[in-house]
Structure 1
Amino acid sequence: MSQDEHIRSYTAPAAGWGALKSVTKSWLGSENAVKNLRAMLKTNQNSGFDCPGCAWGESPENGLVKFCENGAKAVNWESTGRSVDPDFFAKYSVSALAGQSDYWLEYQGRLTHPMRYDAATDHYVETTWEEAFALVARHLKALKSPDEAEFYTSGRASNEAAFLYQLFVRAFGTNNFPDCSNMCHEASGLGMAETLGVGKGTVVFDDLEKADAIFVIGQNPGTNHPRMLEPLREAVHRGAQVICINPLKERGLERFQHPQHPLEMLSNGSEPTNTAYFRPALGGDMAMFRGMAKFLLQWEREAQANGEPPVFDHAFIREHTSGLDAYLAAVDATPWEHIVGQSGLSMAELELAARMYRRAERVIMCWAMGLTQHRHSVPTIQEVVNLQLLRGNVGKPGAGLSPVRGHSNVQGDRTMGIDEKPPTWLLDALEKRFKFKVPRGHGDNAVLAIQAMEARRAKVFLALGGNFAQATPDTPRTHAALRNCELTVHIATKLNRSHLVTGRDALILPCLGRTEVDLQADGPQGVTVEDTFSMVHISHGQLKPRSPHLRSEPAIIAGIAKATLGNQPIDWDWAIADYGHIRDLIADVIPGFADFNARLRHPGGFHLGNDAAERVWKTTSGKARFTPSELPQELVNQAVLARGERPDLILQTLRSHDQYNTTLYGLDDRYRGVFGLREVVFANERDIRRLGFAPGDKVDLVSLWEDGIERRVSGFQLVAYDLPAGQAAAYYPETNPLVPLESYGERTFTPTSKFIAIRLEKAREDSLIHCALAPIPTTGRGRAPRPHSPARRTPMERTLGALACAAGLLMAAGASAAANPPWCWSTAPSPTPPAGTA
């Protein structure tokens, strides 16, 4: 399938030798190697800091190494020796920087000083913290209504920062909290809260070791949660079923080579991470689960007729659920033709999946964006819940529901109150504790915030981390909306494109990273995070801050709040002098955090608890609820179909292996065989030829939608790939322009990034020129990553690679002898080191 130098077959298992090489390249390329070795060994340790990458939980076992390949990339990317200081901004205008790739921008290094945008010169210029806080306060106080400001939150923010942020914003007078979770697991929270009374996963790490079957749905853990590969492999090894449901054959869901198993590494062996792999149509998951339920219902009736043991858990259903009859009527009313047609699976495949589910006494359902970024995601999640309720697979060891969260504290931020639709109990608790009248109306989510800025109803945009301009849909419209603002503010560690899409005034406020020591008035501070299993633990930075001008996220929030509100509703200086003060406030307001500071002294932190896991149902009926939803009649937009248009393909957006959300650590996607290139579109070779193209051709992707706006991305290379017919895949954020702002999940407003109807056109010559990056001089402080050569490596690189493997193997052997913890490296290379600066 080799189509040019950028595309070549990759046959090795996930992790293993490639991961060891990749981590070493990332480490050496950080230009801070000695300090970063110490930092990596402190990652996810009880005395260290929480990985700034994903939200996967920690094994209770101790070990020398508790990070994955992509976690190492995150640490080295944050702890780089490179800096973006005032001299850098003096050299490059915003317009010049905007011509560079997202990878180039973040590669330049850490932000070091607070910077203010000067529209007259089109440059950022240095400012003081006091001037920056005063500018924010002046703009906020000038608004006619607090609802004219939007306050965005990234999932990297700590619990302490998030709590202070929501307190400040609500004291200011609005619930406008567009949040990164609006783009991902909104459907999980809503779908589970309505049916189970909780919006979080009901399992803990230990449940994975007890499950008879684990379903991994719409998820690519090999790239997005690499430490998950170890429990999947161990489940297969002990005889459990691991059933993967994903249109793409992802390497991490096929085979895994454990870097901490010396004999396996020396023999170049690996073990499987699945026992079955189903590949439904995009958007067809709900139909698949409905088909499984239909088989279970058929077998239940046969068992009743023949006097055999029941298929359903009737005792559980009677005591703990409501709505069974209406749900079974909906299952009966769904014809097989609709199920098979929409799921993209045969009757035989549906029956096999149902039988594997039936045979297991304890089943865990895990999922991610493959389920949540569709128009009908809420009923899809609820169909998963329906299946689990039929067999009593909620609230017992080794069973439950596990929406696997993305960023390291995205779940914790919601727990702390980052919610545009806050629950009444939270608002009541805030009013009682802080004695101010909180806003009660719903605020803006990410989509509504963009629409508000587009219509000039919102005039200030403040982002606590993240890369809003690139993470959101309909990129040109989002950028235009941000430029309508009077002020844009970004609290960040590294330069990204959002900082270049400015309002009339704009600020970049540089903050400490998770790896760095946070020194406040009462001494070094720790911050807390909540992982996907609802475990809360403390994180202590280890490295000297990159610049003495950096401030922590809580300190920046407190500075803005004090300048805007004075010492109301709290003394902000007191709050940040010792973060234990913030945690005491959290304990007063948020359920589950009593004795917060004391409980953090326990190694590994503490579990928040989960009512549904205890079979306590905080629903309106007091029971878990079956949900009788109908399958969608059509998945493609009705207005498009009414015009007589039929898409060439259905596109999903996804990450490459060298990527975490919008952060690009490099330009490779090794597991999928792509090197040094991101403008690619994966498709079935028969589809490529059916549409009149050949693998390697350059095409434009055109989105089909109802509003007449042309949405096009240009100059993408066709890559023949093992995909079901009619499907395509490409990387975000490059393809975010194809996602219409108004194409979002029902009741969630989550962009439908996993179902985009597209047409392929031959690439225009002018579009090929347009999509090429304008070169930027590297004769000053700007650093250009060395061009990637997939076919050739220098002798020095080969030597370093060999040394990396040897060192990694020795480390793996030592750690394995000590405790053999999970060390689930995946295998993407880190950014290549710079060619140098002049």
Structure 2
Amino acid sequence: MDHKRKARIAPYPQPAGGLDSLKSTTITLLKEKVPGSRYKTLLHQNQPDGFDCPGCAWPDREHTSTFEFCENGVKAVAAEATSKRIGADFFARHTVTELLQQSDYKLEQHGRLTEPLAYDAASDRYLPISWDDAFALIARHLKALDDPNRASFYVSGRTSNETAFLFQLFVRLYGTNNFPDCSNLCHESSSRALPQTVGVGKATVVLDDFEHADTIMVFGQNPATNHPRMLNELRAAAKRGATIVSINPLKEKGLDRFASPQHPMDLLSGGAEISSLFIRPTLGGDFALIKGVAKRVLELDDAAVASGGERVLDVDFLAEHCSGFDAFAADLRGESWPDLIAASGVPFQDIEALTRVYVQGKAVICTWGMGLTQHRDSVAAIQMLSNLMMLRGNIGRRGAGLCPVRGHSNVQGDRTMGIEDKPSQAFLDRLAQVYDFEPPRQHGLDAVDTIKAMLDGRVKVFVGLGGNFAMATPDTPRTFEALRNCALTVQISTKLNRSHLIHGQDALILPTLGRTEIDLQQTGPQGVTVEDSMCMVHLSYGINPPASRQLLSETDITARMAHATLGSDKVDWLSYVNDYARIRDEIAKVLDAFRDFNARVAQPGGFHLTPASRERRWLTPSGKAQFIVNALEKDTPIARARALHGDKLMVLMTARSHDQYNTTIYALDDRYRGVYGQRRVLLIHRDDIARLGFAAGERVDIFTVWHDGIERRADGFLLVEYDIPRGCLGAYFPETNPLIPLDSVADISNTPTSKSVPVLLRRSAAS
């Protein structure tokens, strides 16, 4: 098996995809011991009679009946369909302290959780508990708090719309807006930036626009690992002549060449070229790069005006639809080219090349991932990208627009359903009207602020609806301390992870159904809905028998938790479990965009929640698309750290390996980057290795440079020579999450700055 191979570094010469994707799939199915009868599950993934992939949020092309292969989707399905099981007998053999010594990869390999469990401090083990007793314990802790704001309720993007809606209603009836969620850790910067510029924090494109785009600019994204089905769209666009540009410090394999497993000729020919231009900003240089392109567009337009040539700016769009252009143009003209070039790490000729591609495009789509969202100036960078697209009217027309590519399958739907620590007053007003109560109005706690509140004792109950909060968050030792400071931690999960082992005084593991499994209630099998990255809402039905008869759905767990805590005088929680269509009717009462929800979602492919900005309606205070002026900041944490340490200072980005989904480690290989059988590796330019006095293959310890006097370190990382900009480092999370300070966050969004951590390297004692 691949996880037993000897650790090695070996450059990968093949294109992304190809036969190795098929081989990896076979290995995954065998390793998970997926019964042969469940292999058919793969054919029902993203199909009208099946289920939405529990992996990424990339949309499906019309939910057709053609199976679209996705290597990482197969891994996600296999992880749920595994025959491996964890019950009380497993915990009888293992104490929590013993399990803490296992790697995250090994914890994942133990299999599916099968029964509710409660932590027993005397034996340091999880012991069986009945569902009724588990809900009674939760209710007792929640009722004992002197303030509802002393509880916090985390939601993962795997949660369905139905569960998310019930969950937020329960928590707001309980009395708090403390809703940390996975969006806080990834695309929160997109959600906070876009409403200020175009009025809605969602994509302005649909999948069909990719067929009409002549230019696609991909910022800070690695589709081959994070959204593999996206590569089929990029492949098709490249083959019909569209220009694709990759803007990323790493030249990722999937944006170079891709051999689609759906196209046999690709497997024989070496695949299709995807990107024709690679732009390599330094870590943290995106804002300066995008501002530089915008400045150059303005300069080209000035030249066209002076010569009487065709305008570069879309003056009609600017006049009819935009506000604030004059102030933005003045700011661009006053910006220094030497400052922009230095801050971006991109030479002028590359900025010029990127600008020329952009202005030659008649229909331009910009997509981005967490490479753009996890820096201090991420909100400003995304607003600058909106500004750039507005200059040429590339929003609200066919084949053009903004496309934040979300990670987990329903992270966007959760936010739509009200999983939001800063809800709008309009949403709260509607809840008050429909359910006859006064919801809490003050802003709640997000993920980072929840950790701080647990650390100082303000939050004493933590409920996690999916995910692996302990490992997904920054400043790992402090997060561990925070969770252990709670009176109660509750984890609603399908498989064992480290968050179950980093627990409060009381702790519960509540096992739940996976999306691939049949959710049988009194009225029959239930379907759930999700919203993908492009605002399509689909209905999803599991097809596999549940891993255990004791499993409850997330919807059922939420309803029973609410019933035990609040009773059912105001909301008949348990009745919603019998028929999820009733929940969809409730959603339609609160959210106008979901009118006739049940009828519309029953149509093949579901329906589109069309953002106003796609139709050039701007839900901003000015009623127009708003140019936002942001200055290039020079006094940054990285600049201050470099002033202290000179060229010894390096900047670290965290990233997924290819055999990983969020914090879930499927295997120990990252074949596209040539890393096998190991994860504690540090990608570094060969010149930096020599300049710092190291050698490739040595082991180093990594230390964060920060102002608070707390030592943050991660030890024993193998130096791997890699094509990465000088001064930059790459490593996997969660192994390097301990290096990210809790208060190193993006302005406005409060997202951890996982892509720009100032660090120093020291040779490991054991090297």
1:236 aligns with 2:238: yes
Within the candidate set 163, 181, 185, 2:183 is matched to: 181
Within the candidate set 231, 241, 264, 1:262 is matched to: 264
Aligned to 1:658: 659
Q: Name segments (4+ residues, structure 1) moved above 6 Å.
A: none
Do 2:194 and 2:383's aligned partners in 1 also have CA atoms closer than 8 Å? yes
Three-state SS of the structure 1 residue aligned to 2:652 is strand
Task: Give the AA of the match of 1:77.
Answer: A
Do 1:699 and 1:763's aligned partners in 2 also have CA atoms closer than 8 Å? yes
Which of 150-159 and 4-13 deviates more? 4-13
1:160-179 equivalent positions in 2, closer than 5 A? 160-179=162-181
Aligned to 2:3: none
1:179 CA drift (Å)? 0.6
1:442 CA drift (Å)? 0.2
Three-state SS of the structure 2 residue aligned to 1:463 is strand
Q: C-alpha distance in 1, partners of 2:309/2:732?
A: 50
1:641 CA drift (Å)? 5.2
Q: C-alpha distance in 2, partners of 1:193/1:260?
A: 38
Aligned to 2:496: 495
1:504 CA drift (Å)? 0.3
Do 2:642 and 2:649's aligned partners in 1 also have CA atoms closer than 8 Å? no
Task: Give the AA of the match of 2:408.
Answer: H
Q: 1:376 to 1:647 in 2, by over 3 A?
A: farther
1:310 aligns with 2:349: no
Aligned to 1:73: 75
Aligned to 1:772: none
Q: C-alpha distance in 2, partners of 1:579/1:161?
A: 9
Do 2:63 and 2:605's aligned partners in 1 also have CA atoms closer than 8 Å? no
Do 1:35 and 1:543's aligned partners in 2 also have CA atoms closer than 8 Å? no
1:29 CA drift (Å)? 2.1
Do 1:189 and 1:200's aligned partners in 2 also have CA atoms closer than 8 Å? yes
Three-state SS of the structure 1 residue aligned to 2:593 is coil
Aligned to 2:107: 105
1:155 aligns with 2:153: no
Aligned to 1:727: 728
Aligned to 1:122: 124
Do 1:283 and 1:635's aligned partners in 2 also have CA atoms closer than 8 Å? no
1:407 aligns with 2:408: yes
Do 2:247 and 2:281's aligned partners in 1 also have CA atoms closer than 8 Å? yes
Aligned to 1:299: 300
1:635 CA drift (Å)? 3.8
Do 2:63 and 2:604's aligned partners in 1 also have CA atoms closer than 8 Å? no
Q: C-alpha distance in 2, partners of 1:33/1:332?
A: 64
Q: C-alpha distance in 1, partners of 2:175/2:646?
A: 46
Do 1:680 and 1:716's aligned partners in 2 also have CA atoms closer than 8 Å? yes
Do 2:641 and 2:649's aligned partners in 1 also have CA atoms closer than 8 Å? no
1:285 aligns with 2:286: yes
Do 1:45 and 1:66's aligned partners in 2 also have CA atoms closer than 8 Å? no
1:647 CA drift (Å)? 4.8
1:490-529 equivalent positions in 2, closer than 5 A? 490-529=491-530
Do 2:68 and 2:262's aligned partners in 1 also have CA atoms closer than 8 Å? no
1:141 CA drift (Å)? 0.2
Three-state SS of the structure 1 residue aligned to 2:675 is coil
Do 1:115 and 1:124's aligned partners in 2 also have CA atoms closer than 8 Å? yes
Deviation per residue, 1:10-47 (Å, 9 max, x gap): 10000010001011111222212313311111100010
Aligned to 2:371: 370
Q: C-alpha distance in 2, partners of 1:240/1:730?
A: 32
Aligned to 1:804: none
Q: C-alpha distance in 2, partners of 1:635/1:681?
A: 24
Task: Give the AA of the match of 1:116.
Answer: A
Deviation per residue, 1:398-425 (Å, 9 max, x gap): 0000000000000000000000000011
Structure 2 unmatched runs, 5+: 1-5
Task: Give the AA of the match of 2:763.
Answer: K
1:386-465 equivalent positions in 2, closer than 5 A? 386-465=387-466
Task: Give the AA of the match of 2:178.
Answer: N
Q: C-alpha distance in 1, partners of 2:754/2:311?
A: 40
Which of 50-59 and 642-651 deviates more? 642-651
Three-state SS of the structure 1 residue aligned to 2:244 is strand
Aligned to 2:332: 331
Q: C-alpha distance in 2, partners of 1:731/1:647?
A: 21
Three-state SS of the structure 1 residue aligned to 2:217 is strand
Deviation per residue, 1:678-726 (Å, 9 max, x gap): 0000000110111111001010000100001100000110000011111
Q: C-alpha distance in 1, partners of 2:705/2:647?
A: 9
Do 1:171 and 1:569's aligned partners in 2 also have CA atoms closer than 8 Å? no
1:64 CA drift (Å)? 3.5
Aligned to 1:202: 204
Which of 631-640 and 425-434 deviates more? 631-640
Q: C-alpha distance in 2, partners of 1:417/1:84?
A: 33
Q: C-alpha distance in 2, partners of 1:404/1:200?
A: 9
Aligned to 1:817: none
Do 1:44 and 1:67's aligned partners in 2 also have CA atoms closer than 8 Å? no
Three-state SS of the structure 2 residue aligned to 1:365 is strand
Q: Which has the higher contact order (CA 8 A, sep 6+)?
A: 1
Task: Give the AA of the match of 2:574.
Answer: D
1:137 aligns with 2:139: yes
Do 2:47 and 2:63's aligned partners in 1 also have CA atoms closer than 8 Å? no
1:368-767 equivalent positions in 2, closer than 5 A? 368-637=369-638, 640=641, 643=644, 647-765=648-766
Three-state SS of the structure 2 residue aligned to 1:226 is coil
Aligned to 1:320: 321
1:90 CA drift (Å)? 0.7
Aligned to 1:42: 44
1:640 CA drift (Å)? 3.6
1:249 aligns with 2:251: yes
Percentage identity across aligned positions? 53
Within the candidate set 89, 92, 103, 2:91 is matched to: 89
1:480 CA drift (Å)? 0.3
Q: C-alpha distance in 2, partners of 1:228/1:744?
A: 29
Alignment RMSD: 1.1
Deviation per residue, 1:257-297 (Å, 9 max, x gap): 111222332x2421111111110111111111111111111
Q: C-alpha distance in 2, partners of 1:174/1:646?
A: 47
Structure 1 unmatched runs, 5+: 769-838
1:377 CA drift (Å)? 0.6
Task: Give the AA of the match of 1:169.
Answer: V
Three-state SS of the structure 2 residue aligned to 1:592 is helix
The number of equivalent residue pairs is 762
Do 1:53 and 1:408's aligned partners in 2 also have CA atoms closer than 8 Å? yes
Three-state SS of the structure 2 residue aligned to 1:331 is helix
Aligned to 2:348: 347
Do 1:43 and 1:67's aligned partners in 2 also have CA atoms closer than 8 Å? no
Three-state SS of the structure 2 residue aligned to 1:293 is helix
Q: C-alpha distance in 1, partners of 2:352/2:262?
A: 38
Q: C-alpha distance in 1, partners of 2:115/2:372?
A: 41
Three-state SS of the structure 1 residue aligned to 2:8 is coil
Three-state SS of the structure 1 residue aligned to 2:594 is coil
Q: C-alpha distance in 1, partners of 2:424/2:491?
A: 28
Q: C-alpha distance in 2, partners of 1:467/1:159?
A: 20
Aligned to 1:833: none
Deviation per residue, 1:110-134 (Å, 9 max, x gap): 0000000001110000000000000
Task: Give the AA of the match of 2:263.
Answer: H
Q: C-alpha distance in 1, partners of 2:103/2:293?
A: 45
Q: C-alpha distance in 2, partners of 1:340/1:470?
A: 36
1:77 CA drift (Å)? 0.8
Which of 64-73 and 603-612 deviates more? 64-73
Task: Give the AA of the match of 2:458.
Answer: R
Task: Give the AA of the match of 1:54.
Answer: C
Task: Give the AA of the match of 1:247.
Answer: P
Q: C-alpha distance in 2, partners of 1:754/1:647?
A: 18
TM-score (norm 2): 0.98
Do 1:436 and 1:569's aligned partners in 2 also have CA atoms closer than 8 Å? no
1:5 CA drift (Å)? 5.0
1:231 CA drift (Å)? 1.1
Aligned to 1:218: 220
1:646 CA drift (Å)? 5.8
Q: C-alpha distance in 2, partners of 1:595/1:206?
A: 24
Three-state SS of the structure 2 residue aligned to 1:693 is coil
Do 1:647 and 1:757's aligned partners in 2 also have CA atoms closer than 8 Å? no
